[in-house]
């Protein structure tokens, strides 16, 4: 009778449990529908946010493309201006070469004129020799005339003596003698007058020639000094022109280098853009995979709910099976000894422990899934926090890099190369040791002293050290943060596992105590009711058959549930594998994000370097224009100086010829005077 009542109670419990299971299924379906709607709305919101972020990113790209287009147009215009200046400089060089050729031709003409001057001087010397011979002949003629006059006077004396001795000479002889005497007197007077005039003329000519020679010597000295000054100016101009040509060549070389740098920067920028596009595609692919993983997680949640339902059903089935086994054992043990009942109870406890172990394994798997979900949420929140902190650190690093870039620009304006900034401690020594850099610094900055340069170099080094320390601190903080995350997650997991194990052990201990007490009571009841049960055994056999049939049906249902549990376990294993893949994908996603940040910082650096190179190119263009203007002015001055030099050389050659002629005349006059 008690067994029948227990069977009826069990049947009522089974019906109640079935109704509760149906209600729970309906509630689970409704909750699943609400959860699906919430997840769909969340996915739509996340998709909208992602689309807004992509729209903003594409707008930024469009602005960058506009900027790059404007910069390319400016570079094309700068290239055109450089081509025009190069053509102008080539024309100026051609004109300068033509002038140099003209000067060479003039020097050849000067040499030919000097040869002609030498020939004319030789002819002049020959003429002077001829004049000397004529002077000698004139002197001989004068001597002959004097001797003739002397002979005439002697003849007149003889004639007078003869006339005094002999008065009877002819009147014709007297007339001839008187005429000859008068003629001799006239000739003597004329000769004296001519001699006095010749002496006065010689004195005047000598005085004039001396004064003229002194003036010509003074003019010669002045002209020689002017010629030396013009020679020095010419040398200085030639040196300055050579320096200007070297500066122009250096400027052209720098422009070529800047062009090559610009081309390389454009190619690098194109590569960076392609890499960013590849990263964007990879990011979209990873986002799709993350969405799929989230969907898998949602499916896992639903499967967890189903597993919970299965676990509940299994618990209920296990309780029912326990009740059936207990009844079966109670019915069968009525005919056996108490020892056999004790053995069967031991077997029941073993089976119970096994079922509890299986149940604990299922609960542990469910707890692991819950922990995985919690860790996923915590990782998402920590990812957002880390993202914000990294964004702030990135901004600070960009600001520091901008400051260092300004200092680098100032040092480059001082004449340092960009490669020399890697050693900021020796930058000032390089500036001091290089005279060209010191000259460039003095020409560009003027009043800036060496202390300012040292301060700038020290400031640059300090900023570089601070930047390196900040980067090392950021890396150390990120590594410490990740290590603390892992340690905290491990500690939390270990704590949860230990607490669960402790609770399970405590519950098992209490359950074992309860089972022991119940077994003792059952043992006492069975020993007392053994005789009554033997009588009721026959009546219970029929009920036992019914219970066996129900047990078979329950066993079949339990086997079905075990099959479903095995399938669910396979699905759980698959979900765990998917979760591992998801973690790997997250790691890859974080790595790709870091690579994207590095590429973004590299692109920012390239942009800054490109802008700085453009500014340097502009300054070099202005300097080239100024140098070209100065070169044209110096070439004009050089042409005027060369013209003045040629005129002065011609005038000097003329004066030298006049001086030589006057010297020769002076010598001739002195010789005539001496003679």
Half-sphere exposure of 290 toward its Cβ, with a 13 Å CA cutoff? Answer: 18
Residue 441 in contact with residue 453, Cβ under 8 Å? yes
Q: Is the pLDDT of residue 584 over 60?
A: yes
pLDDT digits (tens, 9 = 90+) for 535-547: 666 665 666 677 6
What is the four-CA torsion angle of 29, 32, 36, 42, rounded to 10 degrees? 150
Q: Is the pLDDT of residue 169 over 60?
A: no
pLDDT bracket for residue 167 (50, 70, 90): very low
Residue 390's pLDDT is what?
65
Q: Is the pLDDT of residue 233 over 70?
A: no
pLDDT digits (tens, 9 = 90+) for 485-504: 675 566 567 667 766 765 77
pLDDT digits (tens, 9 = 90+) for 553-575: 766 766 776 676 676 666 666 66
Residue 399 in contact with residue 465, Cβ under 8 Å? no
Average pLDDT over residues 326-334: 63
pLDDT bracket for residue 238 (50, 70, 90): confident
Residue 462 in contact with residue 456, Cβ under 8 Å? no
Residue 149's pLDDT is what?
64
Instruction: Name the percent of the chain lying above pLDDT 70.
Output: 36
- Tell which wins on pLDDT, 448 or 147: 147
Question: What 3-state DSSP class applies to 449?
Answer: coil
Residue 337's pLDDT is what?
57
pLDDT digits (tens, 9 = 90+) for 63-91: 776 777 777 777 778 778 777 877 877 78
Residue by residue, DSSP assigns 508-560 as HHHHHHHHHHHHHHHHHHHHHHHHHHHHHHHHHHHHHHHHHHHHHHHHHHHHH
Q: Is the pLDDT of residue 286 over 70?
A: no
User: Which range (114-118, 203-207, 327-331, 384-388) has the least confidence?
Assistant: 327-331
Residue 203 in contact with residue 645, Cβ under 8 Å? no
Residue 168's pLDDT is what?
43
Residue 352 in contact with residue 512, Cβ under 8 Å? no
∠402-403-406 over CA atoms, to 5°?
85
Average pLDDT over residues 97-124: 72
Q: 142: Cβ–Cβ under 8 A, 6 or more apart, which residues?
A: 191
pLDDT digits (tens, 9 = 90+) for 18-30: 777 777 777 777 7
pLDDT bracket for residue 633 (50, 70, 90): confident
Distance between CA 504 and CA 498 in Å, rounded? 10
Q: Is the pLDDT of residue 669 over 60?
A: yes
Exposure string (b/e) for 487-521, b if CB count within 10 Å is 16 or more? eeeeeeeeeeeeeeeeeeeeeeeeeeeeeeeebee
> What would you measure as the largest C-alpha separation in the chain, in angstroms?
242
Q: Which of 101-115, 369-383, 436-450 has the highest mean pLDDT?
A: 101-115
- Tell which wins on pLDDT, 664 or 534: 664
Residue 418's pLDDT is what?
47
Half-sphere exposure of 504 toward its Cβ, with a 13 Å CA cutoff? Answer: 15
Distance between CA 18 and CA 28 in Å, rounded? 15
pLDDT bracket for residue 166 (50, 70, 90): very low
Distance between CA 156 and CA 166 in Å, rounded? 14
pLDDT digits (tens, 9 = 90+) for 353-387: 665 675 566 566 556 656 656 766 676 676 577 66
Instruction: Name the percent of the chain lying above pLDDT 90.
Output: 0
**What is the chain's mean pLDDT, rounded?**
67
Q: How far is CA 420 from CA 251, 412, 465, in A?
A: 21, 10, 16
Residue 599's pLDDT is what?
65
């Amino acid at each position: 009778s008690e067994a029948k009542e227990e069977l009826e109670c069990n049947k009522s419990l089974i019906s109640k449990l079935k109704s509760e299971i149906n209600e729970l299924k309906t509630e689970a379906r409704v909750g699943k529908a609400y959860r699906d709607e919430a997840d769909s709305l969340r996915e739509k919101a996340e998709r909208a946010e992602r689309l807004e972020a992509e729209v903003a990113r594409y707008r930024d790209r469009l602005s960058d493309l506009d900027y790059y287009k404007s910069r390319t147009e400016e570079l094309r215009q700068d290239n055109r201006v450089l081509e025009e200046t190069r053509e102008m400089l080539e024309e100026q060089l051609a004109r300068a070469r033509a002038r140099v050729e003209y000067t060479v031709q003039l020097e050849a003409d000067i040499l030919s004129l000097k040869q002609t001057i030498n020939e004319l001087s030789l002819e002049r010397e020959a003429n002077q020799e001829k004049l000397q011979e004529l002077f000698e002949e004139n002197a001989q003629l004068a001597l002959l005339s004097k001797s003739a006059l002397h002979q005439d006077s002697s003849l007149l004396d003889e004639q007078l003596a003869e006339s005094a001795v002999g008065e009877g000479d002819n009147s014709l002889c007297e007339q001839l003698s008187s005429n000859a005497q008068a003629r001799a007197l006239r000739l003597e007077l004329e000769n004296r007058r001519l001699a006095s005039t010749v002496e006065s003329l010689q004195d005047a000519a000598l005085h004039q020639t001396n004064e003229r020679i002194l003036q010509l010597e003074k003019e010669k000295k002045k002209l020689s000094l002017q010629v030396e000054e013009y020679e020095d100016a010419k040398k200085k101009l030639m040196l300055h022109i050579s320096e200007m040509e070297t500066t122009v060549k250096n400027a052209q070389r720098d422009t070529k280098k800047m062009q090559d740098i610009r081309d390389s920067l454009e190619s690098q920028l194109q590569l960076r853009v392609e890499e960013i596009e590849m990263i964007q595609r990879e990011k979209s692919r990873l986002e799709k995979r993350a969405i799929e993983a989230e969907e898998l997680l949602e499916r896992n949640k639903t499967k967890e709910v189903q597993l919970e339902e299965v676990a509940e059903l299994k618990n209920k089935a296990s309780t029912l099976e326990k009740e059936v086994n207990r009844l079966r054992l109670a019915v069968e043990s009525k005919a056996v000894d108490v020892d056999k009942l004790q053995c069967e109870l031991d077997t029941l406890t073993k089976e119970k422990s096994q079922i509890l172990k299986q149940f604990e394994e299922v609960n542990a798997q469910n707890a692991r899934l819950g922990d995985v979900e919690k860790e996923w949420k915590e990782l998402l929140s920590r990812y957002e926090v880390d993202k914000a902190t990294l964004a702030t650190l990135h901004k600070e690093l960009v600001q520091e890099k901008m400051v260092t870039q300004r200092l680098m620009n100032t040092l480059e304006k001082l004449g340092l190369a960009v490669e020399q900034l890697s050693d900021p401690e020796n930058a000032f020594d390089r500036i001091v040791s290089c005279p060209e850099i010191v000259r460039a610094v003095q020409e560009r900055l003027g009043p800036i002293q060496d202390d300012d340069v040292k301060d700038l170099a020290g400031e640059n080094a300090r900023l570089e050290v601070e930047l390196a320390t900040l980067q090392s601190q950021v890396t150390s903080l990120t590594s410490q943060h990740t290590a603390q995350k892992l340690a905290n997650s491990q500690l939390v997991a270990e704590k949860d596992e230990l607490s669960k194990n402790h609770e399970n052990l405590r519950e098992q201990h209490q359950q074992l105590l309860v089972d022991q007490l119940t077994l003792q009571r059952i043992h006492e009841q069975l020993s007392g009711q053994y005789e009554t049960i033997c009588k009721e055994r026959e009546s219970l056999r029929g009920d036992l058959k019914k219970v066996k049939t129900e047990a078979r049906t329950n066993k079949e249902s339990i086997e079905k549930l075990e099959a479903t549990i095995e399938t669910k376990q396979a699905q759980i294993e698959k979900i765990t594998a998917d979760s591992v893949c998801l973690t790997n994908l997250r790691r890859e996603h974080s790595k790709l994000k870091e690579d994207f940040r590095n590429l973004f910082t590299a692109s920012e650096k390239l942009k800054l370097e490109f802008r700085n190179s453009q500014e340097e190119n502009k300054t070099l263009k202005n300097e080239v224009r100024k140098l070209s203007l100065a070169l044209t002015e110096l070439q004009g001055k050089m042409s005027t100086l060369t013209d003045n030099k040629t005129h002065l050389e011609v005038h000097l050659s003329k004066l030298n010829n006049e001086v030589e002629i006057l010297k020769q005349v002076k010598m001739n006059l002195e010789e005539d005077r001496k003679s």
